[in-house]
Structure 1
Amino acid sequence: MVTSCDHQKLMAQQPNILFIFSDDAGYADFGFHGSHDFKTPNLDALAASGVKFTQAYVSAAVCGPSRAGLLTGKYQQKFGFEENNVKGYMSNSSALLGHDMGLPVDQVTMADYLKELGYKTALFGKWHMGHADRYHPTKRGFDEFYGFRGGARSYWEMSEAEMQKKAEAKLEKGFGHFKEPEKYLTDELADATIEFIERNKKQPFFAYLSFNAVHTPMEARKDDLEKVPAHLTGRRRTLAAMTIGMDRAIGRVLDKVKELGLSDNTLIVFTNDNGGPSDTNHSSNAPLSGTKANHLEGGIRVPFLMSWAGKLKANSSYNNPISTLDLLPTFVTVGGGDVSEIEGLDGVDLMPFAKGESQGKPHETLFWKKENRGAIRHNEWKLIRFPDRPAELYNIEEDISEINDLASEKPELVRELYKKLFDWELTLDRPLWQLKRLYEGKAAVRMDNHRKPKIKK
């Protein structure tokens, strides 16, 4: 039993956690990854203040499943969240229809765990874990919410007609209180995060700043467009301006943390939800091949920064593979929780690796799956399985751009990795929804509303 004295002692030791998440950003489109065209001075400074993870992966190449894995610390296919919960998909259960697709209510989120540990929790921005009321952030561990339930929206005030057409995109404060932004949304989300930090500076807080930047629609402030190098044109120019705006907003939040004297007691993480889509927002993932929605490195490898003044070495890099699945166990552990009591976690606590205390690898093997497509990374080797052509095999340590397919030269290794991938797939659940054109009429018997919420005390 925890006494009030013990609880006060724990709270005094708990760091604040500021988690900043961008949307659809290209791997190469940051100064700290070598870009000369995209100006990100605040994120560059964050990178210089801590650890840059050079082989960070998401658990899916699209945002919905990627976020479901991140929030639970588990491969999202274990609970059926394999596809994006967007139009064009159908439920595999008569109980799940249309907008009522979301993170199953029995899945415990990082916010649930941190709230139980005494944190004040808040989400600012994109949710995309279900439009229906039962999936709402304030019912999934977040004390406060200011954002939108869907996957994308305008950066400016939407018209009544637009809101009628796309209700999940309406800007919402708390539960059911809708009011459109008065300024550019990236700035408004930063304002709300700053205000939350100011109100909670004397207690441990978890702020999840989930930008919709730089996802479409391509909308930037005019003054930011004027800062973009003249040789960039079209969507690439707008993307650069949107990135400038996001970096400025992040800088304002980081400045507030410093101003309030919270730097030594705040763990800060920045990453992105999936690879950049080169078609829709013209992002660049160089030197990686591939883009959002495929299993080449450009679809699943993301920028990842971690900073904690006095705890993590400045200007350092960590070069072994990690996953955004690792965020939940990392946050819960630094918050004073015991992740060994959480069943089914696939992520690990990154702090021993970030601090140089552990010389092992966080992950020897990582997996990806969407429909019949799949991938496995085992040490330096990566196998990509396709439904319509032979598998491809790459040595990622030697061939980051996945140019030299070695599958025909190493058939035994291909078979070994195929088996590992297949064995993992046997542990997964049936997808809760899939593309309508592929699965019309093939409803699964499992029903999401049969699930019971539970949290490990």
Structure 2
Amino acid sequence: MKFFKLAIFSTLLLCLPTSFAIAQKNQQPNIVFLFADDAGYADFGFHGSKIMKTPNLDKLAQQGVLFSQAYVTDPTCGPSRAGIITGKYQQKFGFEENNVPGYMSKNSAKDGNEMGVPVEEITMGEYLQQLGYATAYYGKWHLGGADKFHPTKNGFDEFYGFRGGARSFFPYTEKNKPHDDLNYLERGFGHYKEHEGYLTDVLAEDAVDFIERKTKKGQPFFAFVSFNAVHTPMEATEEDLAQFPELTGDRKIVAAMTLALDRASGLIMDKLKELGIEDNTIVVFSNDNGGPTDKNASDNAPYSGTKSNHLEGGLRVPFIVKWPAKFKANTTYQYPVMTLDLLPTFYAAGGGDTTKLKAVDGVNLIPYVTGENANRPHEIMYWKKDVRATIRVGDWKLIRFPDRPAELYYVPNDIKEVNNLAAQYPEKVKSMFKQLFAWESTLERPRWLLQRKFENYDIERMDKYRWGKLDAKSRNNELSVN
């Protein structure tokens, strides 16, 4: 009888999904980072949108932790990504600009090939490779076009995407070429071949293939899925556009693009569940900067500002982390965090000793989310581009301008940043200026030639911008720091 029971038990074990055995063997969590491009803060159901259709990401928010005060390190694509990939303020290695005027050829929209994260910096992918992770990067890179900056030379075993900053969602042809060769689709190193179909879907399908292959091998994996949705060009499929008959113009297109982004994210998350590895996988969703409301019809409500400026609408982004093994579902984390926290968090989750990380500014968020540490992850946060800079100390935020007095806001009571308290608290302004100067003294000079003219700003027009009384073209010109 004992032998009979043992035989039945052995048979049942053989019938269990392969992924179950793998999960037992592999205690390191898998990591999937779903990363959007230029999305508006308000353009998700989990942030209250009644227009956008994001059921998969809404479900992720219900199953994970929603961070109500998540910030990027810069309100533009390249520097923000540089901060994420290194876990450092990118100004520390001179990556302060995005598409630097004067560095590029005259009247050119091309990205400079040499504008990249210095190769001596250790990337998120390299740190996770040290822990035994298989790593892959999908989609938009935008961290240097030269070969030395290529993802496969900087921490990623596999790459399927494009090196530049923006490209079509549909395949390029001989008649329809990109404005920059860096935006051709590439598999691995230097193997260029355009896709079939809509790129947002294709990137997710390729990521699913990677996940399946590594799961079968029993190797922990890190998939960085860097969608170029919903960045311009404004392109969507007819099927997705048809889902929003009540909308028109770019608002209709961005809604369709967001729907595709949600569908692609859902495809990946469904595969994790199908393989039986959902509980042992960290899934993160975030975005690279605030939405450029005048360019892709995104919506950053309830915050003022857009991509390229230091108001909350330019810096605050959606941020969800799901980790069933560690984090309580359907919860909200209230204290400010930054996307540079992802690197040390991933490293710690994978079993790494964060004290061995090389001079990172991010922190491991795990003890903060679980409640082991009740303090703020960051008491002070910084942003800087040229003379313009911003510092947040606790809940106070100071914005320094190149052409007029600084502005001071108490964020909890003034999320739209319309009540400037600088005149009421001159000592606080002075103290925060000193803290900002002290931080700036630790930074590298920007690595690329700057050719910028600061025009005289009209304060009255700036106020009109705040209240949405300027046309789209004027708004873009008024507060742009890019």
State yes or no: 1:318 paired with 2:338: no
Residue pair 2:89, 2:361 contacting (<8 A) in 1 also? yes
Assess, with a 3 A threshold, how the Cα gap between structure 1 residues 86 and 253 changes in structure 2: closer, same or farther.
farther
What does residue 99 of structure 1 align with? 113
Q: Which residue identity lines up with residue 285 of structure 1 in the other structure? A: N
- Choose which of 287, 290, 297 in structure 1 pairs with 2:305: 290
Q: Deviations over 1:168-192 (max 9, x none)?
A: 0000000011011101000000000
Matches within 5 A, 1:67-216: 67-85=81-99, 89=103, 98-160=112-174, 162-163=176-177, 165-201=179-215, 202-216=218-232
Residue pair 1:291, 1:298 contacting (<8 A) in 2 also? yes
Q: Deviations over 1:81-132 (max 9, x none)?
A: 00014565459xxxxx932211101010010010111000000000000111
Long gaps (5+) in structure 2: 1-21, 106-110, 455-482
Is the deviation greater in 426-435 or in 130-139? 426-435
Residue pair 1:11, 1:203 contacting (<8 A) in 2 also? no
- Choose which of 376, 390, 408 in structure 1 pairs with 2:391: 376
Shift of 1:403: 1.4
Shift of 1:264: 1.1
Shift of 1:11: 7.2
What does residue 361 of structure 1 align with? 376
What does residue 390 of structure 1 align with? 405
Q: Deviations over 1:212-255 (max 9, x none)?
A: 0000000011111111150x221111000100011011001100
Shift of 1:437: 4.1
State yes or no: 1:339 paired with 2:351: no
RMSD: 1.8
What does residue 248 of structure 1 align with? 263
Shift of 1:309: 1.6
Alpha-carbon separation, structure 2, partners of 1:407 and 1:332: 40
Alpha-carbon separation, structure 1, partners of 2:61 and 2:213: 27
Alpha-carbon separation, structure 2, partners of 1:46 and 1:384: 34
Alpha-carbon separation, structure 1, partners of 2:413 and 2:25: 45
Alpha-carbon separation, structure 1, partners of 2:55 and 2:245: 15
State yes or no: 1:300 paired with 2:300: no
The alignment's TM-score, normalised by the length of structure 1, stands at 0.90
Residue pair 1:26, 1:284 contacting (<8 A) in 2 also? yes
What does residue 459 of structure 2 align with? none
Q: Which residue identity lines up with residue 227 of structure 1 in the other structure? A: Q
State yes or no: 1:414 paired with 2:429: yes
Assess, with a 3 A threshold, how the Cα gap between structure 1 residues 106 and 408 changes in structure 2: closer, same or farther.
same
Is the deviation greater in 306-315 or in 253-262? 306-315
Q: Which residue identity lines up with residue 47 of structure 1 in the other structure? A: A
- Choose which of 37, 51, 70 in structure 2 pairs with 1:37: 51
What does residue 454 of structure 1 align with? none
Assess, with a 3 A threshold, how the Cα gap between structure 1 residues 236 and 322 changes in structure 2: closer, same or farther.
same
Alpha-carbon separation, structure 2, partners of 1:255 and 1:193: 12
% same residue = 61
Alpha-carbon separation, structure 1, partners of 2:177 and 2:357: 40
Greater length-normalized contact order (CA 8 Å, ≥ 6 residues apart)? 1
Alpha-carbon separation, structure 1, partners of 2:377 and 2:103: 34
The alignment's TM-score, normalised by the length of structure 2, stands at 0.86
Q: Which residue identity lines up with residue 267 of structure 1 in the other structure? A: I
Alpha-carbon separation, structure 2, partners of 1:250 and 1:174: 22
Is the deviation greater in 79-88 or in 347-356? 79-88
Q: Could you say what secondary structure the match of 1:13 adopts? A: coil
State yes or no: 1:432 paired with 2:447: yes
Alpha-carbon separation, structure 2, partners of 1:165 and 1:240: 25
Q: Which residue identity lines up with residue 325 of structure 1 in the other structure? A: L
Shift of 1:162: 4.7
What does residue 450 of structure 1 align with? none
Residue pair 2:100, 2:450 contacting (<8 A) in 1 also? no
Alpha-carbon separation, structure 1, partners of 2:386 and 2:282: 36
What does residue 4 of structure 1 align with? none
Give 4+ residue runs of structure 1 displaced > 6 Å after superposition: 8-11
Shift of 1:346: 0.4
Q: Could you say what secondary structure the match of 2:295 adopts? A: coil
Shift of 1:397: 1.1
What does residue 404 of structure 1 align with? 419
State yes or no: 1:329 paired with 2:344: yes
Shift of 1:318: 0.2
Is the deviation greater in 312-321 or in 164-173? 164-173
Alpha-carbon separation, structure 1, partners of 2:322 and 2:283: 5
Q: Could you say what secondary structure the match of 2:239 adopts? A: helix
Residue pair 1:163, 1:169 contacting (<8 A) in 2 also? no
State yes or no: 1:223 paired with 2:228: no
Alpha-carbon separation, structure 2, partners of 1:10 and 1:40: 33
Residue pair 2:171, 2:195 contacting (<8 A) in 1 also? yes
Alpha-carbon separation, structure 2, partners of 1:125 and 1:274: 17
Q: Could you say what secondary structure the match of 1:367 adopts? A: strand
Shift of 1:158: 1.1
Higher Rg of the two aligned structures: 2
Q: Which residue identity lines up with residue 90 of structure 2 in the other structure? A: Q
Is the deviation greater in 140-149 or in 307-316? 307-316
Long gaps (5+) in structure 1: 1-7, 92-96, 440-457
What does residue 28 of structure 2 align with? 14
Shift of 1:164: 6.5
What does residue 288 of structure 2 align with? 273
> How many residues are matched?
426
Shift of 1:308: 1.1
Shift of 1:382: 0.2
